[in-house]
């Protein structure tokens, strides 16, 4: 995971998972990317066993640190935030070695590599607004001209970072396209703007392909088009609509097929916009609003996979 000392425990889903695991008597091993390594044919780590407490300060205590084989662990939860760079890919290679040695890795390392959080929605065109994936500025301009109002986003970001809303007559369009595509060197995604963003960008959590019955609708701040909480949006819980469930029925089986036990899909209006599988959030907010135990449901699922 990311540095545990820097998380916001009131909102951090990894912390919710740690709490659920500790409550069941599991031993917790805390590792960061740089702690993983390969020695010969063995996937290894410098691991710190920890205890945690759900309180505003001093929420974790390191007991001791040791070198371990990753295959000595029953399950590894991969909860590192993007960017999805070469270090992230290398981490999936090491985790895949542990998986091949018998450790359950959540989510499956190969799927973390293959199911890019932006690109994966192209498997479900029936659920999506018109979109284009390209780095060609002429092609992107043509798409913007046809769709009129468009969102541009990089394929490897998170939290609403580097997302632009553009129209063809935008005075800054040329520099936006140059910047986001790095002058044609980086592929991006363009999606037709969905006006229903004013009603919220719904984060729907799925455990082994089954949706939690409530979503967190992230409402953009005034003057914003991004609902991401990291971009200043506010979250409010809502019950899933029938169309939300239909989208989950489309996506859920492929998540199960790929060994993605925990995912967060984003839905604006009636459209699927992203499928988050690296480190989806919103557990704590939904648990608090509805008295749920989503991390506990995930632990139930993990236990079933281990038995």
Active site residue 203: yes
Active site residue 245: no
Strand bridging mode 104-106 / 75-77? parallel
Active-site annotation holder among 218, 228, 258, 287: 218
CA–CA dist 93, 70 (Å, integer): 12
Instruction: Please provide the distance, in angstroms rounded to a whole number, between the alpha carbons at the two ends of the chain.
Output: 25
Active-site annotation holder among 99, 156, 244, 274: 274
Active site residue 226: yes
Active-site annotation holder among 107, 116, 228, 276: 276
DSSP state of 6: G
In total, the chain counts a number of residues equal to: 307
Active site residue 218: yes
Active site residue 192: no
Active-site annotation holder among 80, 203, 258, 284: 203
Active site residue 239: no
Report the phi/psi class of residue 272: left, alpha or beta, with left for phi > 0 and alpha for psi in -120 to 50: beta
Active-site annotation holder among 79, 153, 202, 284: 153
**Which residue, among 231, 170, 169, 174, has the nearest Cα to 197 in the 3D structure?**
231
CA–CA dist 14, 228 (Å, integer): 18
Active site residue 274: yes
Would you please indicate which residues are annotated as catalytic (active-site) residues?
Answer: 118, 153, 203, 218, 226, 266, 274, 276
């Amino acid at each position: 995971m990311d540095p545990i000392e820097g998380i916001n425990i009131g909102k951090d889903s990894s912390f919710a998972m740690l709490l659920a695991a500790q409550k069941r008597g599991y031993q917790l091993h805390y590792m960061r990317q740089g702690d993983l390594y390969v020695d010969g044919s063995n996937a290894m780590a410098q691991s710190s066993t920890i205890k945690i407490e759900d309180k505003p300060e001093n929420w974790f205590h390191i007991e001791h640190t040791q070198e371990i084989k990753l295959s000595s662990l029953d399950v590894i939860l991969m909860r590192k935030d993007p960017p999805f760079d070469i270090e992230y890919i290398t981490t999936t290679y090491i985790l895949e070695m542990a998986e091949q040695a018998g450790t359950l890795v959540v989510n499956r390392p190969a799927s973390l590599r293959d199911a890019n959080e932006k690109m994966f929605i192209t498997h479900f065109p029936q659920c999506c607004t018109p979109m284009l994936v390209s780095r060609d500025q002429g092609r992107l301009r043509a798409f913007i001209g046809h769709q009129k109002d468009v969102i541009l986003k990089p394929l490897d970001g998170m939290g609403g970072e580097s997302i632009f809303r553009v129209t063809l007559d935008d005075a800054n369009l040329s520099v936006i396209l140059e910047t986001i595509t790095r002058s044609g060197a980086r592929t991006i995604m363009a999606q037709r703007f969905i006006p229903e963003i004013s009603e919220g960008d719904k984060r729907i959590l799925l455990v082994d392909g089954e949706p939690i019955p409530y979503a967190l609708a992230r409402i953009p701040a005034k003057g914003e088009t991004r609902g991401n909480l990291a971009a200043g949006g506010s979250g409010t819980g809502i019950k899933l609509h029938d169309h939300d469930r239909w989208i989950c029925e489309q996506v859920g089986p492929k998540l199960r097929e790929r060994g993605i036990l925990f995912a967060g899909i984003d839905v604006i209006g009636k459209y699927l916009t992203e499928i988050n599988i690296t480190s989806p959030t919103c557990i704590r907010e939904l648990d608090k609003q509805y008295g749920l135990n989503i991390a506990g449901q995930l632990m139930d699922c993990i236990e079933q996979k281990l038995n």
